[in-house]
Structure 1
Amino acid sequence: MIYDPVASGWQLVLAALAAITLLVVLITVAKLHPFLALVLGGLTVGIIAGQDLGEVLDTFTEGFGSTAAGVGLLIALGAMFAKLLADSGGADQIVETIVGRATGRGLPWAMATVGAIIGLPMFFEIGLVLLMPVIFLVARRAQVSLITVGIPALAGLSAMHGFVPPHPGPVAAVDILGADLGVTLGLGLLVAVPTVIVGGPLFGSVAGRWVDVPAPVDEPAGPGSEGAEDGMAADGARRPSFAVTMATVLLPVVLMLGRAVTEIVIDDPDQPFQKTMTVIGEPLVALLLAVLVAMYTFGLRVGMGMKEVSSTVESSLPGIAGILLIVSAGGGFKEVLVRTGVGTLLADWARDADISVYLLAWVVAALIRLATGSATVATITAASLMLGLVEGMDSTETSLVVLAVGAGSVFFSHVNDAGFWLVKEYFRLSVGQTIKSWSLMETVLSVSGLGFVLLVSIFV
């Protein structure tokens, strides 16, 4: 729903700018948790816009609750699935099978593939920790720079994080803008693949010459090392096979894409097959089914007891508490922006200026990313400001706006981003080397991602 502005244009612009400035200062200078910063930012918008504090609080809590009810469930189920994949050795199986079959020039491409597949269900930080021993091992064996094989893996992880549900940023943007999750998933994969190629193997070959860092010999080999039998985890426990692992990982993707395709091809809500696909392709149902299947394929089938499977699922939840709070607070922040009419004002301005909504979405997200260092905060804030602009758009166009926001949210990671320091320490780089490799890779991903979004928009 689009709301009329509650105050004059200058007052609403001041409210939005003050809130965003407050977010930046609280997160980067005061080092306040983004959850608290978003709460204070939401209240700031409403108060400066002239609304009663009680009304602002009601609006914020309404947005917080609705976001937690929808997006929170998807994030929780995604975390459970990722934990089962990691603990079962399924992720190691993917790495060993793909990397083990690649040689020479094919290694960067294999690492990009592994990064994308592992990044599909897993958060960036978890995927990085999982893949680091493999990156060190591959660099040592191939006698190439860590950056040459590491950048493609990071590109795969980062692109999935920015473009593809059920990661928090894309899911939050889908929820805020009212996009179709299945359509966004399909288009996200379509955009992510060429984006990973450009930012991964292609840029990695250049960055490897700029930053030539050999793998240290003291790093443990990790997954894929000699001595581990095929199909067996390092501790002797059974692993799921590669085929079973891939089928389970892709199950929710297939179900959600299947629903979107069925609705396009059949386009008859009363048709039995479409009814079935509508239910099982619903994101919540698809992810729930995937978790239940994973409890068998990644748990019971490889020798875990039900108690151990339940313990694995339970252990996945504490780590996402902060993410859930940030995303839900972002929903509250969005709701205040919407109710005050800031989005309507921005939409009217953009239409008068005849600016591409995709470009505007990317620029807003990139600026907030540069200022706060948080891709999730950038996604939530930019999507909230774009809400007025997607009014009247079809589902495909709205999904492309989500992807444009996602592309902007990964722009030039630098010293105010936790991911910057994570990569710096794991790869043992200097700040300058990290900027020339990781930061530039993120920028290439962001710009090429926008380019592919604009290209797709021409044909759909």
Structure 2
Amino acid sequence: MSLLILLAGILLLFILILKKVNPMIALLGVAILTGLFLGMPTSKVMNSISSGIGSTLGSMVMVLALGAMMGKLIEDSGSARKIVFILIKSFGKNNIQWAVLITGLMVGIPLFYNAGFVVLIPLVFAISAATGLSKLYIGIPMATALSVTHGFLPPHPGPVALSAIFHADIGKTLIYGLILSLPIAVIAGIYFPRLIIKRDQPVLSALVIEEGDELPSATRSFITALLPVFLIIAGTVGSSVSIDYFGKSFFTFLADPTAALLLSVIITLFVQQTSIEKAMLSCAEGVKSIAMIILIIAAGGAFKQILIDSGMGETVKQLTANLNLSPLLLAWLITASLRVTLGSATVAALTASGMVLPLIGPNAPPELMVLSVGAGSLMFSHVNDTGFWMFKEYFNLSLKETFRTWTAMESIVSVLGLLGVLALNQL
């Protein structure tokens, strides 16, 4: 009976999102109703709501805020555009897909998906016009890179939230995510479009894209864009050494994503040649841009806690005990089903987290569970996903063409992510 109530709650959530109800309001309302129908007293329901919001945001809200500040500083300074120009000049016209893919990965790490897409899409169109190559042939590598970083790599909201819920080490999650992201991005972003898209005949004119004199130097651009990643990885590696040595406490400090991002923001403020007043405005705008994302994550944490406190997670664990499936595969299946139903990758991942949390164990480390759920949250994007419509409208595609390109690419990333997680679990 409890499983039917959960399914009814998920169906209600799907209907509300389909009716354009704000996901935060939908999640919060469905969480309360689900808790009540599962027999939880009203006081316990509201305590679970508060506990879920607090436990989810408590360990990650500063990571999200500082990450948003960092991304906005990079965007406003022109560092992201500078990286684009450098890579395009380095790779040349014949290897332009590789330049766009690497650009997407580098820009996608500090920037959220929508911001990265908006920053890079004008360059995609400019490259297409200059080379005579199809916009999709150039654009799919960019979208793939942004999607991969969005699903697998902190400090993006989904992986950060899941790391907090599963008590996963963010540094290890980032390292495992990078191991998965690079080959997946190459397969889905380079080789997949070559199979389905006809490469137009290049025009004879040279590739000319105006760079402008106002952009920062290459050194400043690369340092600021990749600094958070380098600091977190350095801290994780340095603190994981078993023996004690001078400076280990500093690496332990760096391994904390809040500390790494705060240090990155401070260093960026010194490195970039801009006034403190202007930089602070950028930081404020960055946080404003993710305010709703934070609220959605908070509501998702509330729903997660309802599922845990009602015993639903244990129920799912018992029902699946005899299926003889890997917990990581099961987590992917549950999340993928929710993604197809609900549309939003973040909402699907957070909804699934409360159901799959009890599955974490020796055969399913928390870091790999984060990546398995992240992979499932990218599965089969279609008409109930805003990313689907963004891709369709920017590239002026029909629904059939969007399914053939965007939806297929997202599904490839998801399935390859699952296979990669299962392979890492065997090591």
**Does residue 401 of structure 2 align to residue 439 of structure 1?**
no
Residue 233 of structure 2: aligned partner: 257
Q: One-letter code of the match for 2:111?
A: M
Change (3 A) 1:272 1:15: farther
Residue 376 of structure 2: aligned partner: 408
Assess if the C-alpha contact under 8 Å between 2:239 and 2:249 holds in 1. no
Residue 20 of structure 2: aligned partner: 31
Residue 225 of structure 1: aligned partner: 209
Distance in 1 (alpha carbons) for counterparts of 2:306 and 2:28 = 10
**Does residue 61 of structure 2 align to residue 85 of structure 1?**
no
Work out which of the residue numbers 10, 16, 36 in structure 1 matches 2:6.
16
Residue 346 of structure 2: aligned partner: 376
Residue 208 of structure 1: aligned partner: 197
**Does residue 110 of structure 2 align to residue 128 of structure 1?**
no
**Does residue 395 of structure 2 align to residue 427 of structure 1?**
yes
**Structure 1 residue 272: deviation in Å?**
4.0
Work out which of the residue numbers 267, 272, 290 in structure 2 matches 1:293.
267
Distance in 1 (alpha carbons) for counterparts of 2:348 and 2:243 = 35
Distance in 1 (alpha carbons) for counterparts of 2:304 and 2:295 = 14
Change (3 A) 1:329 1:272: farther
Assess if the C-alpha contact under 8 Å between 2:62 and 2:258 holds in 1. yes
Work out which of the residue numbers 62, 84, 87 in structure 2 matches 1:98.
87
**Structure 1 residue 84: deviation in Å?**
0.3
Distance in 1 (alpha carbons) for counterparts of 2:48 and 2:32 = 10
SS of the residue corresponding to residue 122 of structure 1 reads coil
CA deviation digits over 1:349-397, x for unaligned, max 9? Answer: 3333221111111111111111111000011112221100114567xx2
Structure 2 unaligned residues grouped into runs of 5+: none
Aligned 1:350-361 pairs, distance under 5 A? 350-361=320-331
**Does residue 313 of structure 2 align to residue 343 of structure 1?**
yes
Assess if the C-alpha contact under 8 Å between 1:148 and 1:207 holds in 2. no
Change (3 A) 1:212 1:27: farther
Residue 143 of structure 1: aligned partner: 132
Distance in 2 (alpha carbons) for counterparts of 1:359 and 1:17 = 20
CA deviation digits over 1:105-139, x for unaligned, max 9? Answer: 31111111111111101111111111111101111
Q: One-letter code of the match for 1:386?
A: V
Distance in 1 (alpha carbons) for counterparts of 2:362 and 2:30 = 28
Q: One-letter code of the match for 2:426?
A: I
CA deviation digits over 1:23-70, x for unaligned, max 9? Answer: 111111x22111011111211221121111121011111111232222
Distance in 2 (alpha carbons) for counterparts of 1:291 and 1:385 = 36
TM-score (norm 2): 0.95
SS of the residue corresponding to residue 265 of structure 1 reads coil
Assess if the C-alpha contact under 8 Å between 1:15 and 1:44 holds in 2. no
Distance in 2 (alpha carbons) for counterparts of 1:335 and 1:212 = 52
Distance in 1 (alpha carbons) for counterparts of 2:423 and 2:109 = 23
Distance in 1 (alpha carbons) for counterparts of 2:115 and 2:328 = 30
**Structure 1 residue 266: deviation in Å?**
2.5
TM-score (norm 1): 0.88
Residue 390 of structure 1: aligned partner: 360
**Does residue 256 of structure 2 align to residue 282 of structure 1?**
yes
Structure 1 unaligned residues grouped into runs of 5+: 1-9, 216-223, 234-238
Q: One-letter code of the match for 2:152?
A: F
Distance in 1 (alpha carbons) for counterparts of 2:311 and 2:66 = 34
Distance in 2 (alpha carbons) for counterparts of 1:393 and 1:325 = 32
Change (3 A) 1:349 1:108: same
**Structure 1 residue 151: deviation in Å?**
0.3
**Structure 1 residue 410: deviation in Å?**
0.9
Distance in 2 (alpha carbons) for counterparts of 1:207 and 1:373 = 25
**Structure 1 residue 206: deviation in Å?**
1.9
SS of the residue corresponding to residue 101 of structure 1 reads helix
SS of the residue corresponding to residue 105 of structure 1 reads coil
Larger deviation: 155-164 or 340-349?
Answer: 340-349
Aligned 1:267-346 pairs, distance under 5 A? 268=244, 271-298=245-272, 302=273, 304-346=274-316
